[in-house]
């Protein structure tokens, strides 16, 4: 017990004794002068204000830093957008949060999301909002001196299962495919599954990422060939937008289906649950609205007994935000995550967690997200000609434009 708390309880005892002895005037004087142990914490949280927003390209990603009147800053990551455009939008959105209390995270999320009726729910708004949300949680955790997952109700697990790993691997689709395949194409795809099963072993976890680039007829053909390899899921079986396609695939394919990385907020997730056409949800903390939305999506999915296996192709900054989110939810399966230079050069975003030999991540340590950003290293990343954003140009062999 701290000295201030001891003083508080000692004075409270004296006040109670004075009241019992009938000296109510003395008791009232003592109570009036009692220190309020919650006042310092309350004032620290209620008086803090957002003072600045800094957005910068980091290769093909973008980082957002939000500064406050208390000299506490928070960081978030924007992914899946042209980073220059994303940075401009983030700076524009600062108008909505300038001078606000950063600990009012839900209020500020709603303020941004509902600010423009023609942009709400779109990828540019929501991806940028995701980064702002991460930064606000980072600030709030630092303000209270605790990891973000402590603010989400505390950890529901001691460590976090991750992939890729020696015992957990996702086989890629290998690019756009035709509407229906000939036997050789199917055999080659099936062979990649068989080889991966051999590598991870019978006790390993194996997935297949259709990546929306296997059209439904071909995917149905393919799924019938690989059931024996015990895939834990087929990911992104169809392009989002028509729930009837997912229902048709669910009826035809006996392997669990997973999706969600291209869907945003609770409103785009709920149809999958209501129509019972997806077995695993894969929201991305950088795509769907940040930590705040992951928590809500998990609650919706829990009611339908659907686990979350969050998608993530962000640097250690965004990945750590995802780890905080899943640390605080009960219905969690596995977390995607690429570390140690796979997404961002080492040293740019220094995480405060480790991954063990079995593929499990430790819970992030330190206040807030627990990630340190080397702003000098960002300059080197942006000078790398291989880390310039380029718009994808997916085409089939005949030159037509396809999904991927």
**CATH number of 266's domain:** 3.20.20.120
Question: How would residue 5 be classed by pLDDT, with cut points 50, 70 and 90?
Answer: very low
Cα(86)–Cα(74) distance, integer angstroms: 18
Number of H helices, E strands in the chain: 14, 13
Question: How would residue 32 be classed by pLDDT, with cut points 50, 70 and 90?
Answer: low
Among candidate residues 28, 99, 33, 89, the one with its CA nearest the CA of residue 64: 89
Res 26 pLDDT > 70:
no
**E strands within 45-187?**
50-58, 61-68, 74-78, 159-163, 168-172
Q: Is residue 204 part of a domain?
A: yes
C-alpha distance from residue 329 to each of 146, 160, 290, 295 (Å): 17, 11, 14, 7
Among candidate residues 166, 180, 176, the one with its CA nearest the CA of residue 212: 176
Residue 355 DSSP label: B
Residue 330 DSSP label: S
Give the whole-number percent of the chain exceeding pLDDT 90.
Answer: 84
pLDDT of 326: 98
- Residue scoring higher pLDDT (144 or 8): 144
Res 308 pLDDT > 70:
yes
Question: How would residue 8 be classed by pLDDT, with cut points 50, 70 and 90?
Answer: very low
Structural domain span for residue 361: 154-365
Give the dihedral sign, CA 295/299/300/302.
positive
Cα(250)–Cα(248) distance, integer angstroms: 5
pLDDT of 179: 83
Q: Length of the chain in residues, anyone? A: 404
Q: Is residue 401 part of a domain?
A: no
pLDDT of 24: 52
Cα(263)–Cα(212) distance, integer angstroms: 13
pLDDT of 137: 98
Question: How would residue 36 be classed by pLDDT, with cut points 50, 70 and 90?
Answer: low
Place of tokens 């709030």: 140
Q: Is residue 228 part of a domain?
A: yes
Q: Is residue 128 part of a domain?
A: no
Q: Is residue 194 part of a domain?
A: yes
Give the whole-number percent of the chain exceeding pLDDT 70.
Answer: 89
Among candidate residues 365, 352, 350, 310, the one with its CA nearest the CA of residue 334: 310
What CA dihedral angle connects 146, 313, 76 and 384, to 10 degrees?
Answer: 130
Residues 357-366 pLDDT 10s: 999 999 999 9
Number of domains in the chain: 1
Mean per-residue pLDDT, 42-54? 88
Contacts of 311 (CB under 8 A, 6+ apart): 260, 261, 282, 283, 284, 287, 336
Mean per-residue pLDDT, 126-138? 98
Q: Give the lowest-confidence range in 155-159, 213-217, 298-302, 364-368.
A: 213-217
Q: Is residue 70 part of a domain?
A: no
Residues 265-297 pLDDT 10s: 999 999 999 999 999 999 999 999 999 999 999
Res 200 pLDDT > 70:
yes
Question: How would residue 2 be classed by pLDDT, with cut points 50, 70 and 90?
Answer: very low
pLDDT of 29: 59
* Encoded tokens for 331: 């219905």
Q: Is residue 41 part of a domain?
A: no
Mean pLDDT of the chain: 92
Residues 86-109 pLDDT 10s: 999 999 999 999 999 999 999 999
Q: Is residue 38 part of a domain?
A: no
Three-state DSSP class for residue 263:
coil
Q: How many CB atoms lie within 10 A of CB 120?
A: 15
Res 27 pLDDT > 70:
no
Residue 310 DSSP label: -
Residues 61-78 pLDDT 10s: 999 999 999 999 999 999
CA atoms within 13 A on the CB side of 180: 3
């Amino acid at each position: 017990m701290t000295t201030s708390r001891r003083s508080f309880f000692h004075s409270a005892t004296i006040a109670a004794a004075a009241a019992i002895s009938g000296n109510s005037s003395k008791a009232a004087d003592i109570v009036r002068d009692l220190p309020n142990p919650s006042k310092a914490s309350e004032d620290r949280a209620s008086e803090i204000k957002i003072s600045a927003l800094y957005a910068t390209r980091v290769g093909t990603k973008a980082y957002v830093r939000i500064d406050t009147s208390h000299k506490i800053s928070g960081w978030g990551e924007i992914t899946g957008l042209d980073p220059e455009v994303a940075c401009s939008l983030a700076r524009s959105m600062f108008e909505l949060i300038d001078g606000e209390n950063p600990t009012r995270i839900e209020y500020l999320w709603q303020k941004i999301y509902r600010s423009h009726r023609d942009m709400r729910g779109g990828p540019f708004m929501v991806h940028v909002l995701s980064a702002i949300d991460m930064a606000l949680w980072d600030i709030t955790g630092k303000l209270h001196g605790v990891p973000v997952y402590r603010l989400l109700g505390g950890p529901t697990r001691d460590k976090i299962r991750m992939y890729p790993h020696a015992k957990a691997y996702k086989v890629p689709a290998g690019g756009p495919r035709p509407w229906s395949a000939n036997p050789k194409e199917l055999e080659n795809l099936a062979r990649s599954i068989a080889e991966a099963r051999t590598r991870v072993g019978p006790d390993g976890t194996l997935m297949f990422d259709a990546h929306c680039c296997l059209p439904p007829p071909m995917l149905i053909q393919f799924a019938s060939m690989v059931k024996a390899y015990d895939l834990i899921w087929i990911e992104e079986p169809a392009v989002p937008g028509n729930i009837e396609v997912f229902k048709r695939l669910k009826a035809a394919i006996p392997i669990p289906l997973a999706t969600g990385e291209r869907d945003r907020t609770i409103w785009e997730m709920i149809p999958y649950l209501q129509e019972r056409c997806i077995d695993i949800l894969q929201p991305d903390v950088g795509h769907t609205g940040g930590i705040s939305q992951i928590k809500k999506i998990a609650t919706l999915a829990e009611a339908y007994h659907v686990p979350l296996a969050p998608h993530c192709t962000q640097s250690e900054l965004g990945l750590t935000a995802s780890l905080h989110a899943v640390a605080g939810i009960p219905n969690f399966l596995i977390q995607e995550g690429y570390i140690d230079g796979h997404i961002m050069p080492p040293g740019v975003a220094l995480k405060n967690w480790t991954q063990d030999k079995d593929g499990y991540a430790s819970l992030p340590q330190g206040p807030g997200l627990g990630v340190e950003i080397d702003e000098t290293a960002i300059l080197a990343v942006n000078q790398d000609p291989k880390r310039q954003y380029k718009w994808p140009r997916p085409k089939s062999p005949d030159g037509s434009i396809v999904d991927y």
